[in-house]
Structure 1
Amino acid sequence: MASANGACLNHIARESTDIKRLAQFYKETFGFEQVESPTFDFEVIWLKLGSSLFLHLIERNPNSTLPESPWSATSAVEDPRNLPRGHHICIYVPNFDSLLQNLKEKGINVYEKTLPDGKTKQAFFFDPDGNGLEISSQCPEL
């Protein structure tokens, strides 16, 4: 059995019918930067945040019978309180309060809560394709 020592997260993928729109959202909201992409036989955009978080945006296969995302882009869930707890990506942001204000100013519906420790603030919302996102005021210590 192979050891997982040295394993690390390579990237997170999101499929979309409009990867340019989705890329713009992640660049404007979190500061992702677009990086060089390998060539595929479908459109892709690679985004990078910090030194190690990569987001791979993939053109949706038009022949796919699977839902576009956890919530269909044509009927995304409006209230992030209904986000299933296991269906999100969480990003620590040092400017939590200002980013939260920016989301609200853009008309993005946000569900906020504070953990029982009284220090960790969380905000849940959806990207334009209905994928769940969380921002956190605390970075986990590893």
Structure 2
Amino acid sequence: MTAFPGPLVQRATLNHVSVPAKDMADSESFYRDVLGCERLPAPNFGFPVCWLRLGDLQLHLQQVGPTPGVRTYQHFAVSVFDFTAAFEALLARGAFEEGTRYASLWLLPSGEMQMFARDPSDNLIEIDHPDASTLDLTRFGDRIRRLGEEQEQSSQHLAAKLFLTPQ
């Protein structure tokens, strides 16, 4: 049995929740009508997404296909102060989904960083940091991918932010 370092000395906060949507327009309408969400700009990830403001947090909708038995990518996201320590702890646990886009750390056009990992029950979690310029990117090896270099970003996409200014 491998020994892992003790708990990180930081407090994580919820950033957003992402849920699957069979019909994106219907789901967006539901959350707008029922919860008063408002649509936000979202980056182009190469697949349909819809970001919504839910109070001071966000709700992300992801289009799902009709294929049963396929691993899901619904997740919750937290923001952390020490992104590097969280990366190292996930790496030590083998929590990255190797061989998929979720094994990479993503530098968004906004300068924010995100990484994804699986918990022991195979739930996907996202960990976010507001400013990649404050990180030593060499600590992440070749895992960093730049979304803006992989997917074309319109002006609306470039307005997307994971971290909202409280209303």
For normalisation by structure 2, the TM-score amounts to: 0.35
Higher RCO (CA 8 Å, separation ≥ 6 residues): 2
For normalisation by structure 1, the TM-score amounts to: 0.41
Larger proportion of helix: 2
